[in-house]
């Protein structure tokens, strides 16, 4: 009976530590360090743009509808998958139909692991710039300067790669920042 009581106490103790105290402490730290992100900032979820006058983000692999945060997942399609190859061909064709030319950067035709990524690489933004400049009647140099200003550096200068937040870039276009 002593062993059962010890096991029950250990279970209760570990449940409190790992199921109550640890999540509470981590949530408190997150609220202090990154208050917007810890409360579910909607700007952290990509959005679908189909109008060629806007920058397009990474394709979404979420179920039911694109960028559905409740269905976050990757496509789970491997590099030899015909379904993946077909999806990539369709995405390249859509970019070319919108006015983009040449082979697109990989992140414009493949989904991220979560299917919710709000960022694209600077190369993906610069790839789309001639189309957007043409459709909006803007000088390409101004659009490229807007992309350069919107490019975020790797987190803490070491984690990840440089990236461009698509929503921020498109809001800048709507606010007329490329025309200044």
Could you read off the pLDDT of 94-151 as tens digits, one per residue?
999 999 999 999 999 998 888 889 999 999 999 999 999 999 999 999 999 999 999 9
Residue 64 has pLDDT above 80, yes or no: no
Coil, strand or helix at 163: strand
The pTM is what? 0.79
- pLDDT-above-70 percentage for the chain: 99
Cα distances from 82 to residues 47, 59, 85, 112, 132, in angstroms, run: 26, 17, 5, 18, 31
First to last CA, the chain: 78
pLDDT of residue 41: 77
Domain boundaries, the chain: 1-40, 44-179
Dump pLDDT digits (tens) for 28-54: 998 898 887 777 778 888 899 999 999
Q: What is the pLDDT of residue 66?
A: 87
Which candidate, 145, 97, 154, places its Cα nearest to that of 125? 145
pLDDT of residue 62: 84
pLDDT of 180: 66
């Amino acid at each position: 009976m002593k062993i059962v009581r010890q096991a029950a106490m250990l279970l209760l103790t570990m449940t409190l530590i790992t199921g109550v105290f640890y999540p509470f402490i981590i949530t408190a730290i997150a609220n202090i360090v990154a208050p917007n992100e810890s409360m579910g900032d909607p700007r952290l979820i990509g959005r679908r743009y189909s109008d060629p006058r806007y920058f397009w983000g990474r394709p979404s692999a979420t179920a039911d509808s694109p960028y559905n945060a409740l269905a976050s997942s990757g496509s789970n399609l491997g590099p030899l998958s015909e379904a993946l190859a077909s999806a990539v061909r369709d995405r390249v064709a859509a970019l070319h139909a919108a006015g983009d030319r040449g082979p697109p950067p990989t992140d414009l035709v493949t989904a991220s692991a979560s299917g919710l990524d709000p960022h694209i690489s600077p190369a993906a933004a610069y790839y789309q710039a001639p189309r957007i400049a043409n459709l909006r009647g803007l000088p390409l140099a101004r659009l490229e300067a807007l992309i350069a200003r919107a490019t975020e550096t790797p987190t803490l200068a070491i984690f990840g790669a440089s990236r461009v937040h698509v929503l921020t870039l498109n809001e800048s276009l709507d606010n007329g920042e490329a025309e200044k």
